[in-house]
Chains A and B, each alone.
Chain A
Amino acid sequence: MISVNQLVAVSLVYVAFLFAIAFFAERASARGRSGWLRSPLVYTLSLSIYCTAWTFYGAVGYAARSGMEFVTIYLGPSLVMIGWWWVLRKLVRIGRAQRATSVADLISARYGKSNLLAIVVTLMAVVGVTPYIALQLQSVTLSVSIFSNPTDADVLSQSTATFWVACGLAIFTVLFGTRNLNANERHDGVVIAIAVEAVVKLIALLAVGIFVVWGIAGGIGPMLDRIDSSPIGEWSMDRSRWVALTALSAAAFLALPRMFQVMVVENEDERHLQIASWAFPLYLMLMSLFVVPIAVVGLDILPAGSNPDLFVLTVPLAEGRGGLATLSFLGGFSSATSMVIVATLALSTMVSNHIVMPIWLSTQAEGAQVSGDVRNVVILARRASILLIIFFGYLYYRLSGGGAALAAIGLISFVGVAQFLPAMLGGIFWRGATRWGALAGLVVGFTVWVFCSLLPSFGPDAVLSAAVFDHGIAGLGWLRPQALFGVEGIDPTVHAIVWSITLNMVAFLGVSLVTFPQPLERLQGAQFVNVFDHSTQARGWDAAPATSEDLMVMAQRILGPADALALFRAEAERQGVTGHLPEPTQGFLQALERELAGSVGSATAHAMISQLVGGASVSVEDLMAVADESAQILEYSNRLEAKSAELSRTARQLREANEKLTALSVQKDAFLGQISHELRTPMTSIRSFSEILRDTDELEQSEKTKYASIIHGETIRLTRLLDDLLDLSVLENGQVSLNLDTGNLNDVIGQAVLSAGGDRSTRLSVRHENAELDHPLTTDLDRLRQVFINLITNAQKYCDAPQPELHIDAMDGGDGLRVVFHDNGTPIPAESRSLIFEKFSRINDKDGSGAGLGLAICREIMARLGGDITHEPRSDGNAFIVHLPVRAAMAAQ
């Protein structure tokens, strides 16, 4: 039998071992060799602070009393971990993006960095968790008492043992929990110590379980028989409790401050969560695997009336296994200490950031600009909070007398912290959640919890009188703590869970629906809910009044001179500013605020920056980003896109128009040049010959006649040119009026041939005896004839074949009538083809008699008539095709 003194010695050695591990982990981390400290295994093991002494010892007692019900406490967290994708993934991402330091910080950050909310959450957490800490102290004390003989009793009385345990825990937490100010720099020493403790408690419980199953019962088969023949051998489950407790443990797993600390704050890598998604359920399963066998064997071999909560210790002791019992004690000790350390750490961060710091800041007249290092204040506040919380736990333990009332506190504490869940989940999944909604939900849920769960737990006539239990407050029957609204017959725990969470949610949703969030709240809401869409901060500071010096001074006091200087210098380098003071841009202020939030919490950091900067400005763009749901942003961006497309379209059109204008300008210049040239040539000869006629006296009549004829010819040519130009100008300006008439194509061609001088005056033989030409049409016949005459005279002029011929054919195409003028001259060279319809283009003009306007006029006429004229080179000549539209061709039919 191990004496208490030996046990104390073992415990001290164990604690010294933990201190050493934590110390070396801190050293390794400080040297930057923290890779192994941050493995997924350590992360998973650190999650095991969920298993406290209440679960280590209490689970067996729970099983001995209520059978399988104990397992619900593990089923909920297992489901949450397996379903990490739904909630935890988002929670961890948000926690990291916002640099949340605690549950209170997360909730306050979500609802517009409201410190009021942070204070409410902190107070609720302290009230909810302190009794739980007392429970840990009690379990350690109780387990020590098992080892104590009556003679030892005076050596180490229960209360002094508890006192020393509390002191040891406080020292450890202060030493390793407040080394770093920045909560996001994480506590390597603490994390590694709780990971080791996780291993110890698992091994301890497994060892006892294996001893029970194979050492006492004699294998799995006999064990199962023994289970069935035991007092808890039948499935006897309160169904509502089975469901409610599973849900409750899942909720508490998410909302417990200490779980948030290890799961979110201490999380190094989001992928660790994926590994923990199967590894942590495995841990939980192993932890609960032997609970029922131990309970069954304990009930079997130990005398009736033994405390089943201590079977884990008493069963090995009864079998004379002192070593195993010591290991088991260390397991329970580990469970208790790791829980107290992390819970205290989490609570102290909340208390110092959300209660002490704001009060301290407000008592400083100069606000954030006070001189001195704020870090000392924060660390001092945090240490004081740790001591205070552990003291509260101790006090609670002493006042409650460590009786049976304490044993129920585990579940009660769970119900208390579960009240955070609606505000938390609502905040990360629903943008409509508002600050007042969250506050209302928290306060209502907390009130119901206190009335229905916490106060009744002390028993009738302790805090609440028996009259209140039976008849409700002030005799109002619907205000009975265990039968709210007169609904009776529900299990008290289930009653408390259902009513507190339901009313919490009703208040949260209802108030959220009717209140309107502030701009900052909406911005934060958008960032929380859409954390996967945009991880960047959308909110901005109006940085004008802030000077970099002020910011620097403040940052130095919170982050420390070296870190602050490094931060500012890095930013200055990034901005390309010489010196170490960067411009206080929005981006920098946001980064600085996040950095500060890691040390003092988002609400305090926000308040400090806003003291210097003069309040956050919410710009129009910010509002646009949040003002409405993404659909609106999408619509806005769609509109922008459409606008941009329209602009580029317009730009393209403008560019085209500009090119056309330039081309036209060039064309106009060329035209003017051409026209002056064309006018000048005949004018020159007219002037010269008229001067000869005027100044030369001895001219023969024949010469006079010759010169006069030349002048006459030139004036005719000039007149024709001017006529053509006028004609072209009228056609081009669209001022021409068409005289529609009905006639026959053959007649028109015949008249054209006659007008052009036919084949009598020239060598050109024109053939137009074709049946197809006998085609009625309705168009401006005079204009059409003009086109034909032009084409025939062109052929007369330019056809250079020895036997010039012109064939005129017509074809009735599907889309109109094609009249083909086919000569046997030399085909027009390819490079000139594109020019022949241009003004003043003359190809192969031997006598220079043409002005080069004929085909241009033809093209304009045909365009007016709704058709066109094209040129096709043939192997044996040229073909001009006049295309008459269907309308003109068909109208007469």
Chain B
Amino acid sequence: MTDHNTNTTLFLERRSYRRRRVMDALRLLPIVGLLLWLFPVFWPNAKDGPDAPASVSMSGAVTYVFLVWVVLILSALVLWWVLSKHSGEASDPPEQQR
């Protein structure tokens, strides 16, 4: 009996815990995106002058930017999906943190 009770509370807490971490990921995602998209600033640049290392090719740059984009969209999609799946059963008040 006691065991059963312990397991139930543990399960609920875990679920609510998971939800909180999903929210954390959601908040973190734009920051990750910003860092990834700011990264091209460090690429060697054709305007740097003749001594600079060979600059990144345009196709590579296009691929990088769009790859990041796709990853961000997919992450946001997954997070939304997980959150909306959890939203009905979450017992904690939705505005725990601001």
Select one of B26, B40, B58, B98 contacting A227, CB under 8 A: B58
Residues in A whose Cβ lies below 8 Å from that of B62: 68, 224, 227, 292
Q: A232-240, A372-380, A575-583: which lies at the B interface?
A: A232-240
The 3 closest A-B pairs by CB, nearest first: A83-B30, A278-B76, A236-B46
> Which residues of B are interface residues toward A (Cβ below 8 A)?
23, 26-27, 29-31, 33-34, 37-38, 40-41, 43-47, 55-63, 65-66, 69-70, 72-74, 76-77, 80, 83-84, 95, 98
* Beta-carbon contacts under 8 Å, A13-45 to B: none
Question: A-B pairs with CB below 8 Å: how many?
Answer: 112
A237-B40, A239-B41, A285-B73 known; A274 vs B84 contact (CB < 8 Å): yes
Interface string of A514-549 (1 = CB under 8 A from B): 000000000000000000110000000000000000
Q: Do B76 and A277 have beta carbons less than 8 Å apart?
A: yes
Q: Do B80 and A275 have beta carbons less than 8 Å apart?
A: yes
A274-B84, A275-B80, A289-B66 known; A238 vs B59 contact (CB < 8 Å): no
Q: Do B59 and A224 have beta carbons less than 8 Å apart?
A: yes
Residues in A whose Cβ lies below 8 Å from that of B72: 78, 82, 281
New A-B contacts (18) at CB < 8 Å, excluding given A67-B61, A242-B38, A289-B66: A67-B58, A75-B65, A83-B27, A83-B29, A83-B30, A83-B33, A85-B27, A86-B27, A224-B62, A233-B57, A235-B40, A235-B43, A235-B46, A236-B55, A239-B45, A274-B80, A274-B84, A281-B76
Select one of B30, B61, B80, B95 contacting A79, CB under 8 A: B30
A476 within 8 Å of B (CB atoms):
no
Q: How far is the CB of A231 from chain B (nearest CB, A)?
A: 10
> Which residues of A are interface residues toward B (Cβ below 8 A)?
67-68, 71, 75, 78-80, 82-83, 85-86, 224-225, 227-228, 230, 232-239, 242-243, 246, 271, 274-275, 277-278, 281-282, 285, 289, 292, 532-533
Q: In whole angstroms, how far apart are the Cα atoms of A608 and B88 in the complex?
A: 43
Q: Do A235 and B30 have beta carbons less than 8 Å apart?
A: no
Q: Do B59 and A228 have beta carbons less than 8 Å apart?
A: yes
Q: Which residue in chain A gives the minimum CB-CB distance to B46?
A: A236
Residues in A whose Cβ lies below 8 Å from that of B73: 82, 278, 281-282, 285
Residues in A whose Cβ lies below 8 Å from that of B37: 75, 79, 246
Select one of B33, B55, B98 contacting A235, CB under 8 A: B55
Show 7 A/B contacts (Cβ-Cβ < 8 Å), sorted by A.
Answer: A75-B37, A78-B33, A233-B57, A234-B46, A281-B72, A285-B70, A292-B62
Q: In whole angstroms, how far apart are the Cα atoms of A790 and B26 in the complex?
A: 85
Q: Which residue in chain A gives the minimum CB-CB distance to B93?
A: A532
Q: How far is the CB of B61 from chain A (nearest CB, A)?
A: 5
Select one of A242, A274, A277 contacting B40, CB under 8 A: A242
Q: How far is the CB of B89 from chain A (nearest CB, A)?
A: 16
Residues in B whose Cβ lies below 8 Å from that of A68: 40, 58, 61-62, 65
Q: Do A234 and B98 have beta carbons less than 8 Å apart?
A: no
Q: In whole angstroms, how far apart are the Cα atoms of A118 and B97 in the complex?
A: 32
Residues in B whose Cβ lies below 8 Å from that of A227: 57-59, 62
Q: Do A79 and B34 have beta carbons less than 8 Å apart?
A: yes
Residues in B whose Cβ lies below 8 Å from that of A233: 57-59
Residues in A whose Cβ lies below 8 Å from that of B76: 82, 277-278, 281
Q: In whole angstroms, how far apart are the Cα atoms of A235 and B63 in the complex?
A: 12
A71-B65, A285-B66 known; A277 vs B56 contact (CB < 8 Å): no
Q: Do B29 and A82 have beta carbons less than 8 Å apart?
A: yes
Q: How far is the CB of A178 from chain B (nearest CB, A)?
A: 35
Q: In whole angstroms, how far apart are the Cα atoms of A635 and B45 in the complex?
A: 58
Residues in A whose Cβ lies below 8 Å from that of B31: 83
Select one of B41, B46, B61, B69 contacting A243, CB under 8 A: B41
Q: Do A78 and B69 have beta carbons less than 8 Å apart?
A: yes
A85-B23, A86-B27 known; A235 vs B44 contact (CB < 8 Å): yes
Residues in B whose Cβ lies below 8 Å from that of A224: 59, 62-63
Q: How far is the CB of B47 from chain A (nearest CB, A)?
A: 5
Q: Do A532 and B98 have beta carbons less than 8 Å apart?
A: yes
Q: In whole angstroms, how far apart are the Cα atoms of A239 and B48 in the complex?
A: 11
Q: Which residue in chain B gives the minimum CB-CB distance to A223?
A: B59
Q: In whole angstroms, how far apart are the Cα atoms of A739 and B61 in the complex?
A: 106
The listed residue with most A CB atoms (<10 A of its CB), out of B38, B58, B63, is B58
Q: Do B58 and A86 have beta carbons less than 8 Å apart?
A: no
Residues in A whose Cβ lies below 8 Å from that of B63: 224
Q: How far is the CB of A59 from chain B (nearest CB, A)?
A: 13
A67-B58, A68-B65, A278-B80 known; A236 vs B47 contact (CB < 8 Å): yes
Residues in B whose Cβ lies below 8 Å from that of A246: 37-38
